[in-house]
A and B are shown apart, each in its own frame.
Chain A
Amino acid sequence: MIDRGDLLAALDRAAARKVTIISAPAGSGKTSLIRAWAGRPGHSHQLAVVPVQRGQQDAQLFWLALLDAVRQATGAVRGAGPAAATPDFNARAMVDRVLSELADARRDLTLVIDDLHELTSLAALAQLTRLLTNLPPGVHAILATRHDLRLRLQQLRLAGELSEIRAPDLRFSERETRELLDASGIALSEAGTARLHQRTEGWAAGLRLAAISLAGHPDPERFVAEFSGSDRTVAEYLLAEMLDRQRGDVQRLLLRTCLLDRVNGELGDLLTGRPGSERILLELEDANAFVVSLDPERTSFRYHHLFADLLRLELRRRMPQQVPELHRRAASWFIQRGQVVDAIRHTQAAGDWPDAARLLADHSFSLTLDGQTQTIQALVRAFPPGADHPELALVRAMGDLGQGHLNEAAAHLAVAETYAGTAASDRRRRLRVAIASLKLSLARRRGHLAGVVEQVKFLDSPLTTQSDEDIALGSDLRAVALLNLGTVEAWSQALPDAERHLREGAVLAREIGRPYLEVGCLAQLGFASKIRPFATVQRRCLEAIALADRHGWAAEPVIAPALIALTGALVWTGDFDEAERWLQRTEQALQTDTGPDIRLIMHLAGGILHAGRGRNQQALEEFSAAEYLRSQLEGSHSLASEVTGWLLATQARLGMTGEARDLLAALDDERAGSGEIRNACAVICLAEGDPAGALRAAQDVLDGAVPVIGYVTVVEAQLLAGLAHRELGDQRAARQAAERALALAEPDRLVLPFAMTGSRGLLEDLPRHETAHGALLTDILDIMRGSSAAVGDRSPAPPAEELSPGELRVLRYLPTNLSRVEIASELSVSRNTVSTHIRNIYAKLGVSDRSSAVRRARGLRLLSAGRMK
């Protein structure tokens, strides 16, 4: 390689702008230029290089490669190694990730994307435009391509931040031609050099091919003369010359391995049927003969694309009947190493369509879990139309499900099922298990529990497997099936089963190394935990979210159930501001909409948040949206009565009692008989000025005569009964009801039912000395008065030293007007202990009186922190 100083200087100048595009035909020397530029000593840039794979149709793979390259360059390889692909890919979020990694780069960084013309995904190009127009300061990009791309970079152009290097810039000058010949030890006259330069027009690939042939040639002048005299295209002439000049074993290797994307010694030996391929590859690279190693150890190589394309034509011309056999041998090698996609490609290239279909059907499951959905679809499209393979029906069903085309998926599954019945016995079981698992997914997305339960028998019977492949596939299928089963159980009434299956799924997923499934199971587990104490719910959700974070999936739909469950738990315990933050995160994660089921619970969470804050109009909108979505889903939905109940109650509170009555009348008996709906009736009665009717409705719940989703409904019923008693003038009964509500709410420190039922007056009527739950009472009233909301605006500095658990317990009583003696009695400690705690609290918070301590504690959110423990 010679030093093309002028050209390097030109690239230097170009690279000072944000984006440089090197656009020139095949063989112009783009990659060589970039290599030479990057390899100069004293180069202070960090370099992230992304070579785009041939025919790259999978946007996700491209972006993952780019993200990896950036991470390697910045040295930010955190924790889990290379980023993992996901079945549902969010391109926007990925670009955001890349941008944030780039922003973290401590030194200047140059992003190099080579062979960008190979990226055929339009979506990827669109996102790439966004990346390039938003590069942080200190980050530059160099793109190399064979033709101009559909990147909308006018912004950069207008700002003077775009530069181009094109074919004429890359051409070798006559002087550089001379230098190349000298560097290769070729003695050629000036006239000969001029003729060579003219004939090749300074085309880099041509000159390199010529140099290889000229090196050690007995008569260089004659070679050039004949070359000039020929009208044959440069590439073809020089390739033929170069090839002829090689030893027999080299020719054999080049021709027989050119149909691979990547070559190594083993594969070379396999395809040539001779040993010694590795040595030849190393020799070729050393001779600068269009062979390039891909790793520092020089075990894996690739041929220059143009070179490989020409060799392939030559191979087909010389030995056409060998080609399918070569592909088959390559395919078997790849299969042994589990490189399934390459194996399928070569099987297709050999024209063995039924085998390719079988391979694809067998592996599409685990490929999907590996996030290679677009690759799979590209492989499916490569099958010739007309020759239809029933095996492909399974793969197509998978693709349909991923995109939410549920009816098409069902149709394809039917075809697959018919075929499975006729398959050979060893494959029949595997196919049936795969089909069962897809049916499970389908039923889950439709919310159809009964449909799901049918498929379970395949799960419970152990797989009698033979190969390791079978076992792996079986485990994958089992984990996915557990996830789907647990999810649909959580959405129906079977919560204990849901927890069991989801936990099993998470453990299995971890064993088999499927982090995406593990996160999925844990996220759904967080959601399924709703019968547990809220502290447990929060803990499980945060666990799932932390795991998702570690893998970079914090903004992916897979974690949404946990985000929503966490939001819900925070709303129930009155932590509205924090809940709002999590709700916003959920909205971001669900931008690639995953269906009515998830959006329903998001609206529900939004609804209760608004209701808790007393914003009934917004709450109504959310509950109405949730109700609409609920009606779209099949099967009885565990949240159905909550959704409908709150919708009715909110309508009533806004004075829309007529609409509420109509909706109520339209419910079937089963639904109308649930505790949540009875409570809603009570609310309607109260709004209509019929406290006696309200009391009757609430009493049904309190008597345990109707089913309820959980104890929160009973709390609500107590409060509604209390409000009714109040209207009827029975103060004592009202106070008793309020006290019972507080007692039920104490363990979880529930706030929401009090806020939603508007029980402020009821609580304020409760004399402090008559309640055993003074701290909770005060908390709830503060939240309802909105005092904690106002406090959130200031952000005071945290205390120098954290408060101990004992101090936190006392702290919670400070907002009440209980004396120290009374507090001591509440906590069953001595008065002196309480005084000591209070002294420490004042000291740590930097205050000298009780009310300041309370204010400070609120500002630091210490009072609510106590609730989460």
Chain B
Amino acid sequence: MKPGHLTGLDHGGMDPGPALYTIRIDGHLGATMLSAFPALVPRRRGRHTLLTGLLDRSALYGVLGEIEALGLNLLEVRRHAPHRESPRPGDSRSP
């Protein structure tokens, strides 16, 4: 019997699974700052930086916590369509 472990995912409650998020931050993030967000892909948009990646709920709050800790200016959090498993042959395409 494996001693009781809680793995990273919380199996209780309504965890919708990972989703695609884009987070907008004021200012350009250099290499040092970006190293705090290894799971996200950066893009520059005007004076802002967009960080995009696949995040479940825990990871999302982790990222938000990191943004707070580093004193960054959070402008927007946008969630795209929820992630689905890669479609099996015969599945219809989801919208």
Contacts and interface: CB of A to CB of B under 8 A. Distances in A.
Interface of A: 25-27, 146-147, 203, 205, 230-237, 239-240, 305-306, 309-310, 313-314, 316-317, 381, 385-386, 388, 392-393, 396, 408, 411-412, 415
Interface string B52-94: 0000000000000000111111000000000000000000000
Nearest to B69: A309
A412 B3 contact: yes
B11 interface: no
A233 B72 contact: yes
24 contacts: A25-B68, A147-B68, A205-B71, A233-B72, A235-B33, A236-B29, A236-B32, A236-B33, A237-B30, A240-B30, A305-B69, A306-B69, A310-B32, A310-B70, A313-B70, A314-B32, A316-B35, A317-B31, A317-B32, A381-B6, A385-B6, A385-B8, A388-B2, A411-B1
B29 to A, nearest CB: 6
Contacts of A408: 3-4
B68 A233 contact: no
B47 to A, nearest CB: 5
A322 to B, nearest CB: 15
Given A306-B69, A381-B6, A412-B3, A233 B35 contact: no
The 4 closest A-B pairs by CB, nearest first: A233-B27, A26-B71, A231-B28, A385-B7
A386 B4 CA distance: 11
Contacts of A415: 3
Contacts of A392: 3
A572 B52 CA distance: 75
B35 to A, nearest CB: 5
Contacts of B68: 25-26, 146-147
A118 to B, nearest CB: 10
A242 to B, nearest CB: 13
Interface string B1-36: 111111110000000000000000111111111011
Nearest to B48: A231
A231 B47 contact: yes
A27 B69 CA distance: 9
B7 A240 contact: no
Contacts of B47: 231
B71 A27 contact: yes
Contacts of B3: 388, 392-393, 396, 408, 411-412, 415
B32 A240 contact: yes
Given A388-B3, A412-B3, A232 B30 contact: yes
Given A232-B30, A388-B3, A306 B71 contact: yes
B69 A26 contact: yes
Contacts of B36: 313
Contacts of A313: 32-33, 35-36, 70
B30 A306 contact: no
Which secondary structure characterizes the binding site on chain B? loop
Contacts of B32: 236, 239-240, 310, 313-314, 317
A819 to B, nearest CB: 77
Contact of B71 (A147, A235, A237): A235
A233 B67 CA distance: 12
Nearest to A203: B71
Most buried by B among A27, A231, A388: A231
Contact of B27 (A26, A234, A239, A381): A234
A393 B5 CA distance: 12
A26 B66 CA distance: 11
A314 B70 CA distance: 12
B28 A306 contact: no
A205 B72 CA distance: 12
Contacts of A203: 71
A240 B9 CA distance: 37
A26 B7 CA distance: 30
Contact of A309 (B5, B26, B30, B70): B70
A79 B29 CA distance: 55
Contacts of B35: 313, 316-317
Nearest to B4: A408
A388 B25 CA distance: 39
A29 B65 CA distance: 19
Contacts of A205: 71
A80 B33 CA distance: 48
A309 B68 CA distance: 11
Nearest to B25: A233
A172 to B, nearest CB: 15
Contacts of A239: 32
A864 to B, nearest CB: 54
Nearest to A27: B71
Nearest to B36: A313
Nearest to A311: B32
A596 to B, nearest CB: 24
A234 B47 CA distance: 12
A797 B31 CA distance: 81
